[in-house]
Structure 1
Amino acid sequence: MDRRKALKFTGSMAAAAVAGPSLLTLLQSCKNESRVDWQPQFLTMDEAAFVSKIVDMILPRTETPGALDVKVDIFIDKVYTYLYDTNGQNNVQKEIKKFNDDCRNNYGDAFVSLSESDQIKALQKAEENSGQFGSSVWGTAIGNPEPVGFYRSLKSTALWGYFTSEQIGKNVLNYDPIPGAYHGCLNLDEVGNKWSL
């Protein structure tokens, strides 16, 4: 590995170490915000409506809560506000505009104003034209990662916000708090199979 790659890798690892606790704080702060009085911090109201519509279509409410129920759109706005630098923020706004321009050219209006069938077509097209995340081992990319594009990045952030929300973590996924409850003096047959540590 040459010096440039080593420095780049070290910088990305340091950024991940700093960003991890920040993201947990962002998730917690979204839980306390009411949807009625939500004012986006970075996104404009039109951009916020765009993000809300896309995350609602990716993760709609079914028998489990949807993305809007756990405030994924608010989480994404906070990610853009606190974790993106000025260039990243400018790129997000440029990409939202480009996405809406493509919708106007192909379907006649901005994404949020389209019929549901045209919105589905627009998302299917974005899915087909987006790059794929490369393989990784424990968060470290293997090989040369390809750019994934705006839509895939937004979708990934939406999934991340959804599955790490407290409501989904506790009520939908299997929840095993660490450290678990202490149960002393159990008979060996109550413990079940051997447990790995």
Structure 2
Amino acid sequence: MDRREALRRTAWIMGGVISAPAIMGVLKGCTAKPTIDWKPVFLSEEQGILITQVADIIIPKTDTPGAKEVGVPGFIDLMLKDVYSKEEQDKYLNSLKAFNEAAEKEHGDPFIELSPETQTAFVKKLHDEVVKDKSENAPAYRPFIMTTKELTMLGFFTSEVGATQVLQYVAVPGSYKGCLPLAEAGNGKTWAT
């Protein structure tokens, strides 16, 4: 018998005396909390988990490694720490907070506790909203969505995997062939720069 079944039977025996919030609290405590395999230097651990999940939604693992597998979340963390100004860092963190608050408002839980399917749908929905709304009154989470997307793409396509397995790559290019069908010129892949 698993824990859920034991709680259900206990509640039935007690005549439903255990409240629904108490049962939900116990059941929620049974789910594994997400973790990360890198140490954030700028972000908190919870923010690092959130960034990892969002980057993995932007570039998921397919027949090639995804953003998470090539270390993009750590890249984002370092870029925020070393390249962005204090003002830009604060704007990003405030926007990240607004993103998480929007997830809690819509789904009742912080983003990192949502199911993968719900996370994907939520990120896609918010991304589509901010792409359409370019006004000054854009949602507060717009900088988070757009900066995370930009840094995910930059980190992935400048990684060895992104440059060699996803983009067309020749370490030492050969001779110039000016008139080739596209199918013979890299099978339609864009060149790595």
Query: What runs of 5+ residues in structure 2 fail to find an aligned partner?
Result: 1-35, 180-193
Greater Rg by CA: 2
Which one-letter code corresponds to 2:91 in the other structure?
Answer: N
Q: Report if the CA contact (8 A) 1:131-1:149 is conserved.
A: no
Question: In the aligned structure 1, how far is the partner of 2:86 from the partner of 2:143?
Answer: 18
Which of 156, 170, 176 lines up with 1:176 in the alignment?
Answer: 170
Query: Given the two structures, how large is their TM-score scaled by the length of structure 1?
Result: 0.63
Alignment of 1:12-161 (within 5 A): 36=37, 38-131=38-131, 149-161=143-155
Partner residue, 2:182: none
1:192 & 1:149 partners in 2: Cα distance? 42
* Contact 2:42-2:78 within 8 A present in 1 as well: yes
| Aligned AA (1:169) | A
The CA distance in 1 between the partners of 2:120 and 2:157, in whole Å, is 23
For residues 88 and 192 of structure 1, what CA distance do their matches in structure 2 show? 44
| Contact preservation (8 Å) 2:56, 2:68 | yes
Q: Which runs of 5+ in 1 are unaligned?
A: 1-34, 135-145, 182-190
How many residues are paired up?
A: 140
Q: What TM-score, normalized by structure 2, do the two folds share?
A: 0.64
| Structure 1 residue 67: Cα displacement | 0.5
SS at match of 1:170: helix
> Which one-letter code corresponds to 2:143 in the other structure?
G
1:142 aligned partner: none
Q: Provide Cα deviations, 1:2-43, integer angstroms capped at 9, x if missing partner.
A: xxxxxxxxxxxxxxxxxxxxxxxxxxxxxxxxx74x321100
Q: Partners of 1:192 and 1:45 in 2: how far apart?
A: 49
CA separation in 1, counterparts of 2:145 and 2:178? Answer: 44
Secondary structure class of the residue paired with 2:41:
coil
Report deviation, 1:81: 0.5
Instruction: Tell me if the contact between 2:91 and 2:143 (Cα under 8 Å) persists in the aligned partners.
Output: no
Change (3 A) 1:125 1:194: closer
Q: Distance in 2 between matches of 1:169 and 1:159?
A: 11
Q: Deviations over 1:57-101 (max 9, x none)?
A: 111111111101110101100110111111111111111111111
Partner of residue 158 from structure 2, selected from 156, 164, 174: 164
Partner SS, residue 131 of structure 1: helix
Letter in 2 for 1:158: T
Q: Return the offset for 1:125.
A: 2.1
3-state DSSP of counterpart to 2:131: coil
Can you list the C-alpha shifts for 1:147-195, whole angstroms capped at 9, x where unaligned?
A: 86320221121011111111221233211235x47xxxxxxxxx68448
Report how far residue 105 of structure 1 moved: 0.6
